[in-house]
């Protein structure tokens, strides 16, 4: 079956029972018969396991929506997802990426970490396959004209948001505690540039290796940094800046066990925001409350709540909790892929498809808001949500504390 040319193609996607959103594609496209196969790289074990569970739920729901649209409109198209487990490991990610390419996919969603994305990038660049990450945010991956696109912002935006929060809280010096990996190292570099350009100081930076469980040497360095920074600026003007994944919980517990001051503010980073590992640890959570821990993360566009809330309801019914924005970014990637495939001319070469995908993303407004990409193929329009830990009747939960808009540079505290 071949579809007639249409002057303007509108895709209406019914979400839940009440919400409707519209995606528009360029004029004079032609919808043709398609078999659309999409690969997915997720780390179902290791660092990425929490993300893998929620992202798979979001993608499975999206596949239901896509297939319902195809069937409802009588389109001669099929959409299939192939999942591969990277085990949150760079070597395994490369192996599984090649497995997906061998299956004939032209688009791969994922992987979760920036280190995995960097490892896979060389393979997709050589194989003419589009890698579209829902969560890899390292500044080191902001490269124009490569085959890695990101529906998440480059961490230069997170560094900007974090610096604005530091200034708002009158922080004059930070003691960084940094996981030694690609993402963490690029984020501390970007944040240091922002903070120092604003007159801030970096004191006694500490690093720890992935997999660390004994933080004693890090704690020793932090103790020394607190003494130095307090003497120079005063205790109310200094903070610890923790860049970690879920392993940040172990650091906070170690800080508590070392009887370090709980009046020194602690700030975290996006990979620790809303971490279940923290709220499940009463000792670390209590310490986080006392130090007013705040973590920024790529945030939801409140104007898109009529789109993402019904999806969140379905995800929560599936996995028992709401998903992070990264899972919803994967949902939007899959829809964009399907729209681009349906509206692309038959048998395009790779560069033509890539250009059409980017153009389609520019027209797309979905669960995470506007998906337009910048010159590096990264998300252009960004909000950051700051999350803190609260204690409600003995139950620790993540609570929204502030929102930052990188377009107008406005920080709104709640």
Q: What is the CATH number of the domain that holds 47?
A: 3.40.50.2300
What the block records as the tokens of 88 is: 């949150």
Question: If pLDDT is split at 50, 70 and 90, which confidence band does 383 have?
Answer: very high
The answer to whether 378 touches 153, Cβ cutoff 8 Å, is yes
Please tell me whether residues 68 and 175 are part of one structural domain: no
- Is a pLDDT exceeding 90 seen at residue 18? no
230-240 mean pLDDT: 96
Please tell me whether residues 214 and 329 are part of one structural domain: no
Question: If pLDDT is split at 50, 70 and 90, which confidence band does 48 have?
Answer: confident
Give the predicted TM-score (pTM) of the model. Answer: 0.83
- Residue carrying structure tokens 């480059």: 154
Q: Which region among 183-197, 277-291, 296-310, 333-347 has the lowest average model confidence (pLDDT)?
A: 333-347
More confident residue, 160 or 15: 160
- Residue carrying structure tokens 């469980």: 213
Cα–chain center distance at 37: 23
Structural domain includes residue 5:
no
| Whole-number pLDDT of residue 19 | 32
| Whole-number pLDDT of residue 29 | 46
Please tell me whether residues 107 and 165 are part of one structural domain: no
Structural domain includes residue 140:
yes
The answer to whether 153 touches 301, Cβ cutoff 8 Å, is no
The CA distance from 327 to 109, in Å, is: 11
| Whole-number pLDDT of residue 33 | 62
The CA distance from 16 to 203, in Å, is: 50
What the block records as the tokens of 140 is: 């080191």
Give me the helices (H) in 304-379, please.
Answer: 305-319, 325-343, 350-363
- Residue carrying structure tokens 């929620």: 54
Please tell me whether residues 393 and 244 are part of one structural domain: yes
What the block records as the tokens of 339 is: 């729209």
363-373 mean pLDDT: 95
Please tell me whether residues 100 and 161 are part of one structural domain: no
Please tell me whether residues 269 and 391 are part of one structural domain: yes
The CA distance from 61 to 79, in Å, is: 13
Question: If pLDDT is split at 50, 70 and 90, which confidence band does 21 have?
Answer: very low
Please tell me whether residues 109 and 32 are part of one structural domain: yes
Please tell me whether residues 364 and 390 are part of one structural domain: no
The answer to whether 363 touches 340, Cβ cutoff 8 Å, is no
296: Cβ contacts below 8 Å, ≥ 6 apart: 158, 161, 162, 165, 269, 270, 273, 384, 385, 386, 387, 404
Please tell me whether residues 26 and 52 are part of one structural domain: yes
Q: Which secondary structure element, helix H or strand E, spans residue 299, and what is its range?
A: none
Structural domain includes residue 336:
yes
* Structural domain of 191: 156-298+384-413
């Amino acid at each position: 079956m071949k579809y007639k040319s249409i002057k303007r193609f509108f895709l209406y996607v019914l979400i839940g029972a009440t919400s409707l959103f519209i995606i528009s594609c360029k004029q004079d496209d032609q919808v043709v018969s398609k078999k659309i196969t999409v690969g997915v790289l997720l780390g179902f074990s290791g660092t990425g396991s929490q993300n893998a569970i929620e992202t798979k739920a979001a993608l499975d729901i999206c596949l239901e929506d896509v297939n319902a649209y195809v069937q409802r409109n009588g389109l001669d198209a099929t959409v299939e997802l192939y999942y591969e487990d990277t085990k949150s490991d760079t070597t395994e990610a490369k192996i599984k990426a090649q497995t997906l390419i061998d299956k004939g996919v032209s688009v791969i969603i994922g992987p979760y970490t920036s280190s995995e994305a960097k490892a896979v990038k060389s393979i997709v660049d050589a194989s003419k396959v589009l890698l579209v990450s829902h969560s890899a945010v390292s500044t080191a991956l902001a490269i124009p004209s490569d085959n890695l696109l990101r529906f998440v912002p480059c961490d230069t935006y997170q560094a900007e948001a974090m610096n604005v929060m530091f200034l708002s809280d009158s922080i004059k010096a930070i003691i960084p505690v940094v996981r030694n990996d690609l993402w963490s190292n690029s984020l501390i570099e970007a944040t240091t540039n922002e903070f120092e350009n604003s007159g801030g100081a970096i004191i006694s930076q500490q690093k720890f290796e992935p997999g660390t469980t004994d933080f004693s040497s890090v704690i020793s360095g932090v103790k020394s940094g607190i003494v130095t920074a307090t003497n120079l600026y005063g205790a109310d003007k200094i903070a610890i800046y923790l860049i970690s994944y879920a392993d940040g919980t172990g650091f906070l517990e170690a800080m508590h066990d070392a009887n370090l001051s709980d009046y020194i503010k602690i700030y975290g980073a996006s990979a620790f925001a809303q971490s279940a590992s923290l709220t499940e640890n009463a000792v670390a959570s209590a310490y986080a409350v006392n130090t007013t821990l705040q973590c920024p993360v790529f945030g939801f566009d409140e104007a898109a709540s009529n789109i993402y809330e019904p999806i969140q309801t379905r995800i929560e019914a599936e996995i028992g909790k709401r998903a992070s924005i990264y899972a919803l970014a994967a949902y939007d990637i899959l829809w964009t892929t399907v729209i681009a495939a349906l509206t692309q001319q038959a048998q395009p070469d790779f560069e033509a498809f890539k250009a059409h995908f980017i153009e389609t993303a520019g027209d797309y407004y979905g669960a995470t808001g506007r998906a337009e990409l910048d010159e590096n193929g990264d998300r252009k329009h960004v909000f950051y949500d700051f999350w803190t830990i609260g204690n409600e009747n003995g139950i620790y939960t993540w609570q929204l504390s502030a929102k930052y808009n990188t377009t107008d540079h406005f920080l709104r505290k709640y």
